[in-house]
Amino acid sequence: MTLTAEPQIVVPRIGYLVPASFLGAHLFAMTTTSKRPGDTGAAPNVLSVFIPALEGMRGLAALGVLVTHVAFQTATTGPDVFGRILGRLDLAVALFFALSGFLLWRPYASAARGLGRPHSLFRYWLSRATRILPAYWVAVFLVLAFLPAANGASVRVWVSNLTLVQVFVPMTLTDGLTQMWSLSVEVAFYLVLPFIGIALFGLRGAAARWRIPLLLGVSAVSLVWAFLPIPTPEHINHDNWLPGFIPWFAAGMLIAELAVVPPTWVHRLAHRRGLMFVIAACAFGLATTNLAGPPALVQPAPWQYAIKITLGAVMSFALVAPLVLGGPRQYRYLESPVGLAFGRWSYGIFVWHLAVLSIVFPIFGIPEFSGRFIFVLTVTTILSIAVASVSYALIEEPSRRFVQRHQTKRTDRLTGSTASPAATTPTSTHS
């Protein structure tokens, strides 16, 4: 008998869907009686269930990126403990990658157990382009055209930034846009993800049990990336390319796989969110030492890079797994209106904060790398949130709705349906 022959249960909020026989009567009672306001009684699909806490976590990751960049630009990332902590907040990027890995790999993990199927390649890539490009292109145009520090950019800089290939082209990460190296890596992940799904297509049904060991094995092997003598142009580091960050994406992909299998010791561990937080804190703490490389922008040795990537993967897994695998719990800040708002604006905060920071210094007459961390951080945070909220309201959300309407009309034409679109629950505004 196949896995899908049994009745399926979806645990509210976390998208955990397994055969009823694995969960027992107690969990069944919980899932059928614990409803949130506005529930219709229908179980959400594992491919589309919205997890509010992940949205709040994404907002925290965006603020972490902002804080570490302000700390660097105000010369606050020194060798002291506080400086090392601020400098290592760059591991917020690991959290971003893990969240993307979970949300985007979830359909493939589910399909391997007969629980639906992923979107078509066209719909998937259209969704990614709609999510990333409109606000990004506006930011690139405004920064390169009007930001004094980036004024006079060459055609190569324009093309490299507009096409998100900055990590491959020397001297194209320009003022106001230097954080986009990580977006370039993430877009590379978007492009290859469907082909990873195809490569693992044979690991379905009973063979799906090999998917988790395979992801762990590939992650372990990828740690040698920084040791490889990859020829690159001057000023280009191959450790800024996708293969070097596979463990960070894989942390989320592993959670997606675990979300659709019977409970394991990992699920029991995820229920102990206090312990998971301690694990995340220990991984982050170790990453602030020389084990993960020197402070600031000094290039780490290959072994330090491998340790940093490993610690970032552990930290991200420990932070995200309880939100997905740890059962239906309330996360007051992450699921609060404030937390969800930061989650909605997180992409805008990421895209715009360095441009805002570049303007804050001259406006207030503060030289770069001259201190005043708290003041610069406060002003940059307030202005970045304001710009991000406008970006979301005027660029990101209208673009998403336009494409959604266009796709609905296209589907109606193909199917001959004239019914109005049904209400849907998004996986995440940033998935």
Residue 95 pLDDT class (50, 70, 90 cuts): very high
State what percent of residues in the chain have pLDDT above 90: 71
For the four alpha carbons of 279, 282, 288 and 289, in that order, the dihedral sign comes to negative
Q: Please give the average per-residue pLDDT across 108-115, as a whole number.
A: 90
Q: Please give the average per-residue pLDDT across 189-212, as a whole number.
A: 93
DSSP letter for each residue of 314-325: HHHHHHHHHHHH
Q: Inform me whether the pLDDT recorded for 374 exceeds 70.
A: yes
Phi, psi torsion values for 200, nearest 5 degrees: -95, 10
Q: For residue 118, what pLDDT is reported?
A: 84
> Look-up: residue for tokens 């107690």?
26
Q: For residue 162, what pLDDT is reported?
A: 96
Q: Inform me whether the pLDDT recorded for 179 exceeds 70.
A: yes
Which has the higher per-residue pLDDT, 424 or 404? 404
Q: Please give the average per-residue pLDDT across 208-214, as a whole number.
A: 94
Q: For residue 424, what pLDDT is reported?
A: 38
Q: Please give the average per-residue pLDDT across 398-420, as a whole number.
A: 77
Q: What is the pLDDT of residues 290-305, one digit of tens each?
A: 999 987 778 899 999 9
Q: What's the token pair of residue 319?
A: 């932070």
pTM of the model: 0.85
SS3 percent helix, strand, coil of the chain, rounded to 5, is: 65, 0, 30
State what percent of residues in the chain have pLDDT above 70: 85
Q: For residue 249, what pLDDT is reported?
A: 98
Residues 6+ apart with CB under 8 A from 314: 251, 279, 280, 283
Q: Inform me whether the pLDDT recorded for 280 exceeds 90.
A: yes
Q: Inform me whether the pLDDT recorded for 4 exceeds 80.
A: no
Q: What is the pLDDT of residues 342-358, one digit of tens each?
A: 999 999 999 999 999 99
Q: For residue 35, what pLDDT is reported?
A: 38
Among 112-116, 320-324, 389-393, the least confident range: 112-116
Q: Inform me whether the pLDDT recorded for 23 exceeds 80.
A: no
Residue 417 pLDDT class (50, 70, 90 cuts): low
Which has the higher per-residue pLDDT, 79 or 202? 202
Q: Inform me whether the pLDDT recorded for 17 exceeds 50.
A: no
Q: Please give the average per-residue pLDDT across 172-195, as a whole number.
A: 95
Residue 426 pLDDT class (50, 70, 90 cuts): very low
Long-range pairs of 226-232 with CB within 8 A, sequence gap ≥ 24: 226/302, 226/305, 226/306, 227/302, 227/303, 227/306
33-37, 74-78, 396-400: which is most confident:
396-400
Q: Inform me whether the pLDDT recorded for 176 exceeds 90.
A: yes
Q: What's the token pair of residue 333?
A: 């800040």
Q: Closest Cα partner for 345 from 298, 414, 392? A: 392
Q: For residue 150, what pLDDT is reported?
A: 82
Q: Please give the average per-residue pLDDT across 100-108, as a whole number.
A: 95
Among 47-51, 68-72, 418-422, the least confident range: 418-422
Which has the higher per-residue pLDDT, 360 or 42? 360
